[in-house]
Amino acid sequence: MATETDERDEPEAKGEGKRKKEKSPRRTTPALFVRQIIAELRKVIWPTRRELITYTVAALIFVLIMVGIVSGVDYGLQQGIYAIFG
């Protein structure tokens, strides 16, 4: 009498247990690589001049705010160190 934990004699799946010799991927030629790059760049949605200016201004404002915050913290720590160690 077989129990649930006994192994069944089932045929292996096709190709299971057999090691196929894997082929190494082909190297891409420089010309094909450039063609693929150009094809991908054609898919890119480029920003308009107005969007580019908006993004640039937003990035510059963010950087200026961060410079202000870091400078303020640095100045505060500097004054604290001078107050402690005089």
Secondary structure (DSSP) of 48-82: PHHHHHHHHHHHHHHHHHHHHHHHHHHHHHHHHHH
Q: pLDDT tens digits, the chain, 86 residues: what are they?
A: 555 555 556 555 565 556 666 677 788 899 999 999 999 999 999 999 999 999 999 999 999 999 999 999 999 999 999 999 98
Q: Alpha-carbon distance 48 to 46, whole Å?
A: 7
Q: Kindly report whether the global pTM for this prediction surpasses the value 0.95.
A: no
Q: Alpha-carbon distance 14 to 69, whole Å?
A: 64
